[in-house]
Amino acid sequence: MTTAAADRSRLLALIGSSWRTQAIYAMVLLGIADRLCQGDPVGLQELATEVGADQGALRRLLRGLRVLGLIRESDAGFALTPMGQLLNSGDGGESLADWVRWWAGDLQWRTWGALTEAVREGRPMRERFAPASGYEVHAASAGAAHVFHSAMAQLSAAVGPAVIACLRGAAACKVIDIGGGRGELLGQVLLARPETTGVLLEQNHALPTAREHLTQVGVIARCTVAQGDFFREVPAGADIYLLKSILHNWADAQAERLLRECRRAMKADARLAVIERAIDDDSPHEADVRADLNMLVGLGGLERTVNELHALFERCGLRACSVFDAGEYRIFLCRTGM
């Protein structure tokens, strides 16, 4: 193939890549991974009956999923590949099924369709397709809120061990997870530190999912699930504050307001663990760019570079004493600047 023909073919693949998202979404909504994870390969007819699909159409979807590396086919029938296994909803901390439900769902899908307007106007587009803007949208539907908080938890689950590893120090202490979602990170920290107590600070729509999760993992007795607005008040007196995937939701003015509130709440020896992506402007990773544009179109936030994050901390009287790698994220361990 000539270079021009290869470019054309690659471009056509990029233009049409929405098929991938929707094929994966269909796989999750139909419950294909949930059925196939149960053991032996399953034949087409049986699978079509069990997931409630047209046999001919399902065969074509399965062929697409095979091309994506999620399904394999043998004489015995269809089975999941190890990557496809990650779409099984019952796969504990490993599953990404709720992330698919959120990312490919109606609100996200339609919002991304307005990226051009977001770039023209420099403002987020979520409110165009939802009854409210920003996180207020989750107040309108308990079901949608549950999907969002479970989806976030599926991303956060992987950073727990790195956060625990960098939080050495007194075993008996108090941790506050600011905007902690359903408490995935806080739950992991409390499980790893049996003498530590915790507070999850969140908006109302997150609280039922958080109580359910923290009860399920067995730490609710050492944990307060508190409704609050982190722009108004971050509770004082904790030894460790966690702030994961919060700053990227907000433009600089609001991010500074929140960090100043954290600074005000922190004792002289308290630590603030900020967990964020750090975008590399010279050689950006696709995952960081995707997250950044997602912030632009949905919430009006942004992914920042390491230098931008350090500058933000400094303007708010905080200093990141250590920075740790945690997969796609970095952990900035901050102290009050003095």
The residues annotated as belonging to the active site are 248
| Contact residue for ligand SAM among 8, 132, 231, 267 (CB under 6 A) | 231
Half-sphere exposure of 159 (CA within 13 A, CB side): 29
266-304: buried (b, 16+ CB within 10 Å) or exposed (e) per residue? beeebbbbbbbbbbeeeeeeeebeebbbbbbbbbbbbbb
Residues 243/178, Cβ–Cβ less than 8 Å? yes
Supply the DSSP string of 182-204, one letter for each residue. TSHHHHHHHHH-TT-EEEEEE-G
Q: How far is the CB of 33 from ligand SAM (least distance, A)?
A: 23
Nearer of residues 275 and 312 to ligand SAM, judged by Cβ: 275
What distances in angstroms separate CA 16 from CA 9, 57, 319, one per listed residue?
Answer: 11, 19, 45
**Per CB under 6 A, 188 contacts ligand SAM:** no
Nearer of residues 197 and 245 to ligand SAM, judged by Cβ: 245
| Contact residue for ligand SAM among 58, 206, 225, 318 (CB under 6 A) | 206
Q: How far is the CB of 44 from ligand SAM (least distance, A)?
A: 38
Nearer of residues 193 and 213 to ligand SAM, judged by Cβ: 213
H/E segment holding residue 260: helix 252-265
Q: Which of 202, 240, 244, 246 is nearest to 224 (CA)?
A: 202
Residues 175/198, Cβ–Cβ less than 8 Å? yes
Query: What is the three-class DSSP state of 285?
Result: coil
**Per CB under 6 A, 292 contacts ligand SAM:** no
| Contact residue for ligand SAM among 23, 151, 246, 312 (CB under 6 A) | 246
**Per CB under 6 A, 324 contacts ligand SAM:** no
Please choose, out of 57-65, 73-81, 176-184, 191-199, the segment that lies near ligand SAM by the rule CB under 6 A.
176-184
Task: Give Cα 295 distance to the centre of its chain.
Answer: 12
Window 249-288: contact mask with ligand SAM (x via CB under 6 A): x---------------------------------------
Nearer of residues 53 and 273 to ligand SAM, judged by Cβ: 273
| Contact residue for ligand SAM among 46, 229, 280, 325 (CB under 6 A) | 229
> Which residues ranging from 120 to 139 are in contact with ligand SAM (CB under 6 A)?
135
User: Nearest 5°: CA angle at 136, between 201 and 200?
Assistant: 10
Query: What is the three-class DSSP state of 74?
Result: strand
| Contact residue for ligand SAM among 88, 95, 111, 156 (CB under 6 A) | 156
| Contact residue for ligand SAM among 34, 98, 184, 239 (CB under 6 A) | 184
Measured distance CA(263)–CA(244) in Å, rounded: 16
Q: What residues make contact with ligand SAM under the rule CB under 6 A?
A: 135, 152-153, 156, 179-181, 184, 201-203, 206, 228-231, 244-246, 249
